[in-house]
Structure 1
Amino acid sequence: MNKEAAEDCVEKAVSYLSEGKIEKAEKLLTKSITLHPTKRAEELLEKIKCGAYTKRASSGNTSDDGVRQRATAGQSAKPEPAAEPEYSPEQLDAVKRIKKCKDYYEVLGVTKEATDTDIKKAYKKLALQLHPDKNKAPGSVEAFKAIGNAVAILTDAEKRKSYDLYGADEQHHPAAHTARRSHARYEYAYSRGFETEFTAEELFNMFFGGNIPTQHVYTRQRRFHRAEQQQYREPQSGYAAFINLLPIILLIGLSMMSSFFISDPIYSLTPSQKFSVARKTNQLKIPYYVKDNFHSEYQGSVGRLEASVEEEYLNNLKHSCYRERNYKETM
């Protein structure tokens, strides 16, 4: 709230400067810095103190010479043009809209039933509007991060499913919170930005052809292979070999530990003691099974859940056909 109020003060101060109302502009800039210091407000205030702006003719110099000197001062005192904003009102409105959003879907302007294609299309449109190189409005950097991380979460099936179940409210679901910290690596908190596996700039390059993350991955892999070859050429003692294997052992141990915190799946294609309630998808009538407490525990979209059921079922059929065909070819 303080940040938005500070930005409004700066905008009003710029308007006063263009009208030659220096004192009012100075008061508003001082108030803006008190609410939320910004570089722009500090620069404008410094220019006022250095005399870069002058008052209107009606508030010109006063002295003992009376009306004649005031008229002369009025003729010579022309207000200098105020610094124009480097952004348009539409760009500022786009940033403010993002700030008011309550969830990832609202950030991208899509519904909870949106497909990956819809989500990516919405992201591309917003990314071109909010990229900091193009949009200089206050808060554009945070808004750009918000849309980047929203698309990163909503185009990942597991992260999206977890987000639909629990959203940003992790206090009531400690087990889910632990699982997500181990696997999903994201948090929702607009004021602090979003934490994902890629930066907002890397995601932008991935969508528009930069492929920066791929280059980084390639560099890390190449260095790893060079180090591995060097270790292979040098004779190693038993202790050195153990040290080299220690990271792998730790990774295996962490993977085994994290598996204890992973929550159960929402459904199963085969019945069991845990998944005993039979259901069918609305479109293809594919049977699947859920727990007894499905209606009370699952808060996400049933339509999207059933789409996932049908996709998994069809993939299983494809794999079965593939295995059977390979078996016949080898006979």
Structure 2
Amino acid sequence: MEGNRDEAEKCINIASKAIEAGDKEKALKFLNKAEKLFPTPRAKALLEALTKNGSSAANGVHRRRAAEDGRAQAAKERESTGGESSKVFTQEQVEGVQRIKRCKDYYEVLGITKEASEDELKKAYRKLALKFHPDKNHAPGATDAFKKIGNAYAVLSNPTKRRQYDLTGGEEPSGPGHSHGGGNGFDFHRGFEADITPEDLFNMFFGGGFPSSSAQSFTNGRTSYSHHADYRQERTDERGDGGFSMFIQLMPIVVVILVSILSQMMVSPPPYSLYSRPSTGQTVKRQTENLHVDYYVTRDFKSEYKAAALQQIEKSVEEDYVTNVRNTCWKERQTKIDLLYAAKVYRDDRMRKKAEFMTMENCKELDRLNNLFRGG
């Protein structure tokens, strides 16, 4: 009897089409045949409706049944995909997530070599962060991939952590209880976690929130990704009882910091500051003769430094000032480039305007200084 189920379903489908076409006799014929082959509630309901009220009532039963089947199928799909069946993703995005999942070290995650420069590192992170951001990529596992990308950049962009990671970070954990990635393929390399959450890093990198109108940013399925506390708790759980191990790893860094502090204590502070510093007594404002750069000294400055020494001090002041302006200008330009890039990719007019209205004060000052140099 069970073997007749498929034939019975075919008969019911033929009967359903006959009902829609208004052919009552054909519908009755195939419904009766379906009942003989394999009785079902659906065929029985259509038969009763057709016998009592004609094809119009049976049509209503058929439509209700189809709607129920559709709702059941949609619910089944939502359950199997974690509530994200309405979110579309491509095969390329799925393959991208799987590639990140298979990566064994942070260099492989970002797609760079160990010799990569800071600019190459930033370029790689910018490209991947936009590609795998949960508001852009709805493929299963995209949130975890985004976390891993952010963690990789945060560690490798820190010179100290990067040196340590090059020595020990890429090694596979071994022994019982150390399966790579905790069973899901995402190993965050114990002892090399970032000091900032991926979403905070993303916002800092692109000068604001993600360019999206979605009110549920950083959401993947039923789990909201925007709660910093959850992520920090997750990292705390990952660390477990490895506090002593972490302390041993950080010992060389502590020694370097202590030596640096002691060295600074032994070296006398410079006789000037580019900013007023009441704590050191450098509150008297002066101006260099050449570039007219403001700087601050103590009240005893005139009596301690004569003309020859003053000329050398003012030269140092101007060099420090120009270096500071140049570095800050570079940061301004980089921020503007990042904003324009994100605005172009996501067609976000708000971010484009924000980039266009940046004042770039330090870059203007750098232009003024360059003109002075050329004029001199």
Under a length normalisation based on structure 2, what TM-score does the superposition of the two structures give?
Answer: 0.33
Give 1 or 2 for the bigger CA radius of gyration: 2
